[in-house]
């Protein structure tokens, strides 16, 4: 099996799925050509939004605690990855360097993203994940009436997210 290739991405912003009212974190590649929306939980959305908005709390929240523990143990988060997408579930990995040895730790992508924002670690997404997350949008020659409601919803949302300007994301507070 060929080794996965990864694309560096950044958090473009956060929004709310207008159909389900679920939070979405939107990753975009550094050339602003590809977007990957990831539906996340409210707690993780709050953690990401607080860091994006640079809100400082008097006591550390869970992701701040994890950052502090890694640092106090002599480690450094060197990168996070969104490495797989199976059955509409994204999978992530933290790459933590301790004394020159990198350990990979299984993580939900939302937690990995929240930690990456706190540690300035780059975010990478596997190319196959980008392709799979866009699979419905890229169906050629099929009319919308041939798509399931879920596929149609996903296609509409990806279209909407790709057309949004970065300033548009700021109006959706968590």
Residue 119 and residue 117: Cα distance in Å, rounded?
6
Beta carbons of 80 and 113 less than 8 angstroms apart: yes
For residue 49, what are the contacts with CB-CB under 8 A and spacing of at least 6?
A: 14, 173, 174
108/148: higher pLDDT? 108
Nearest to 51 by CA among 131, 114, 122: 114
Greatest alpha-carbon span in the chain: 56
Q: How many CB atoms are located within 10 Å of the residue 39 CB?
A: 16
Q: What residues contact residue 105 under an 8 Å CB cut-off, 6+ apart?
A: 93, 94, 96
Q: What H or E segment, with its residue span, contains residue 59?
A: none
pLDDT for the residue numbered 158: 66
Q: When comparing pLDDT for 20 and 114, which is higher?
A: 114
Q: What is the pLDDT of residues 31-82, one digit of tens each?
A: 999 999 999 999 999 999 999 999 999 999 999 999 999 999 999 999 999 9
DSSP H helices, 53-108, are 62-72
Place of tokens 């640079």: 54
pLDDT the model gives residue 154: 66
Residue 122 is encoded by which pair of tokens?
Answer: 């780059």
Go through the domains of the chain in sequence order and give each one's CATH number: 6-138+148-166 (3.10.690.10)
**What is the pLDDT confidence band of residue 19, given thresholds at 50, 70 and 90?**
confident
């Amino acid at each position: 099996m060929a080794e996965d290739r990864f694309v560096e991405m950044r958090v473009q912003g956060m929004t709310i799925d207008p159909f389900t009212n679920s939070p979405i974190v939107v990753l975009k590649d550094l050339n602003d050509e590809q977007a990957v929306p990831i539906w996340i939980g409210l707690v993780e959305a709050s953690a990401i939004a607080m860091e994006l908005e640079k809100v400082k709390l008097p006591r550390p929240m869970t992701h701040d605690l994890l950052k502090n523990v890694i640092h106090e143990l002599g480690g450094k988060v060197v990168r996070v990855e969104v490495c797989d997408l199976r059955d509409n579930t994204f999978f992530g990995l933290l790459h933590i360097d301790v004394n020159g040895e990198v350990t990979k730790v299984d993580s939900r992508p939302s937690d990995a993203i929240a930690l990456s924002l706190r540690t300035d670690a780059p975010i990478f997404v596997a190319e196959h994940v980008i392709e799979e997350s866009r699979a419905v949008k890229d169906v050629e020659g099929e009319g919308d009436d041939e798509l399931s409601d879920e596929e149609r919803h996903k296609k509409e949302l990806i279209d909407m997210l790709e057309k949004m300007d970065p300033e548009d994301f700021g109006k959706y507070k968590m």
